[in-house]
C-alpha cells in the first residue's frame, strides 16, 4: 500500500468569524497527505520556494509523509492564498492568489512516486494533473478540481477526468461541470465521462457517493466549533483515499469499503474544520479517529 499525492503546497492567510492566521502551512496536497497519513504511506509531489523551511517540512515528516518529491526552487516563493469566510462557512472568498513556483512547475515523479498503487490528483491546473497521471502506474486514480478550471480549462479538465477512476467535486461544481441541475443526473453524467466512482462534497451537509451500485449519503457531523473550513475537502479526500489504499484487495474497491472510506473521509474533514490550517489534523491520535468514526455511526444509523 502506498499513495502519491500531487497538489498545491502553500502558505494560506485566512480570516473567519472566529479569528485569523497569517501564512499558515496549507495547500491541497498538504491537507490531503496529513489526513491520509493516518491510514497509509503517503508521498507528496509539488514545488516550494525558498520561504518554505524545515519547520513546515517537519509537520509532514512527523507524520511519516515522504517529502523527497517536494521540489525546492531556491529563486522562487511558495504558492500563496489569502481568503476569508463570512458567517456562511460553506463559501470561501478568495482575496489573493500568488502562483509563484507553481507558474513554471513541471512535475517529474521519482520512481517511488510513479509506482504508488494509489494516486491523488489534487486541485491544480488540469494539464499538470494529466502530466502526473501519465507518469504514474497507479491502479486507482482520483481527481479533485474546482470551478476555476471548469470555466477556464474545460477541455483539458474533461481529458483529465476521462483518465481517472474517481472524481471528487463539490455538488455545485459537479452540476456546473455536467450542466445538469439535478445532482443524481449530474453524477450519472460525470460517470459517463470516465470515472466509475463519483463523490459529491456538500460542505456542512456531508458528502454523497455514486457508483453503479447506487447512491450513499453521509451527513456532516454537527459541530459547535467550526473555526476554519480551509482544506476540509482535501482532508475528506485524504481520509477517503488513504483508507481505500490501506484496504485495497487486488486493485478493486468493493461497495462496503467505499462506504467506510466515505465515513473516514468525513471523520478527517470534521477534524480539519475544528481549528485553523493543519493544527487539528496534524495533532490527532489514532484513538480520536476511531472515536469519531463511532460518532458518525451513532449519528447516522437507525433500526428498521
Q: Can residue 224 be called a binding residue for a copy of itself (CB under 8 A)?
A: yes
Which backbone phi and psi does 208 adopt, to 5 degrees?
-125, 145
Judged by CB under 8 A, how many residues of this single chain contact a copy of itself? 36
Figure out which of the listed residues 48, 70, 121, 262 binds a copy of itself, where binding follows CB under 8 A.
Answer: 262
The 178-207 site mask, x for binding a copy of itself (CB under 8 A), equals: ---xxxxx----------------x--xx-
Nearer to a copy of itself, 122 or 195 (CB): 195
Figure out which of the listed residues 64, 252, 285, 302 binds a copy of itself, where binding follows CB under 8 A.
Answer: 302
Residue 283 vs residues 272, 274, 275: alpha-carbon distances, Å: 11, 12, 11
Q: Can residue 223 be called a binding residue for a copy of itself (CB under 8 A)?
A: yes
Q: Can residue 219 be called a binding residue for a copy of itself (CB under 8 A)?
A: yes
Residue 281 vs residues 35, 36, 111: alpha-carbon distances, Å: 7, 10, 29
**3-state SS track over 232-282:** HHHHHHHHHHHHHHHHCECCECCHHHHHHHHHHHHHHHHHHCCCCCCHHHH
> Considering the complex, what minimum distance in angstroms separates the CB of residue 225 from a copy of itself?
8
Backbone CA torsion sign across 34, 258, 224, 273: positive
| Largest CA-CA distance found in the chain, in angstroms, rounded | 63
Which 26-65 residues touch a copy of itself, going by CB under 8 A?
none
**3-state DSSP call for residue 12?**
strand
Residues contributing to the site for a copy of itself (CB under 8 A): 87, 181-185, 202, 205-206, 208, 214-220, 222-224, 226, 256, 259-260, 262-263, 293-294, 297-304
Amino acid at each position: 500500500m502506498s499513495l502519491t499525492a500531487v497538489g498545491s503546497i502553500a502558505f494560506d492567510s485566512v480570516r473567519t468569524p472566529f479569528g485569523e492566521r497569517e501564512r499558515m502551512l496549507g495547500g491541497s496536497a498538504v491537507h490531503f497527505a496529513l489526513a491520509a497519513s493516518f491510514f497509509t504511506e503517503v508521498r507528496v509531489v509539488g514545488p516550494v520556494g525558498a520561504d518554505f523551511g524545515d519547520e513546515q517540512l517537519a509537520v509532514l515528516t512527523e507524520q511519516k509523509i515522504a517529502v523527497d518529491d517536494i521540489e525546492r526552487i531556491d529563486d522562487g516563493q511558495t504558492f500563496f492564498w489569502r481568503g476569508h469566510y463570512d458567517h456562511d462557512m460553506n463559501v470561501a472568498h478568495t482575496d489573493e492568489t500568488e502562483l509563484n513556483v507553481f507558474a513554471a512547475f513541471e512535475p517529474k515523479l521519482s520512481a517511488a512516486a510513479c509506482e504508488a498503487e494509489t494516486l491523488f490528483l489534487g486541485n491544480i491546473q488540469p494539464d499538470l494533473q494529466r502530466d502526473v497521471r501519465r507518469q504514474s502506474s497507479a491502479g486507482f486514480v482520483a481527481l479533485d478540481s474546482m470551478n476555476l478550471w471548469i470555466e477556464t480549462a474545460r477541455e483539458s479538465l474533461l481529458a483529465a477526468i476521462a483518465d481517472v477512476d474517481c472524481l471528487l467535486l463539490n455538488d455545485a461544481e459537479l452540476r456546473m461541470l455536467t450542466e445538469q441541475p439535478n445532482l443524481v443526473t449530474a453524477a450519472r453524467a460525470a460517470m459517463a465521462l470516465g470515472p466509475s466512482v463519483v463523490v459529491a462534497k456538500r460542505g456542512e451537509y456531508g458528502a454523497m457517493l455514486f457508483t453503479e451500485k447506487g447512491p450513499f449519503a453521509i451527513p456532516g457531523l454537527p459541530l459547535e466549533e467550526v473555526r476554519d473550513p480551509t482544506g476540509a475537502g482535501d482532508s475528506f479526500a485524504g481520509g477517503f483515499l488513504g483508507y481505500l489504499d490501506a484496504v485495497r484487495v487486488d486493485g478493486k474497491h468493493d461497495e462496503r469499503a467505499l462506504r467506510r472510506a466515505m465515513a473516514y473521509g468525513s471523520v478527517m474533514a470534521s477534524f480539519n474544520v475544528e481549528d485553523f490550517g493543519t493544527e487539528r489534523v496534524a495533532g490527532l491520535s489514532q484513538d480520536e479517529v476511531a472515536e469519531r468514526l463511532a460518532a458518525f455511526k451513532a449519528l447516522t444509523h437507525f433500526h428498521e
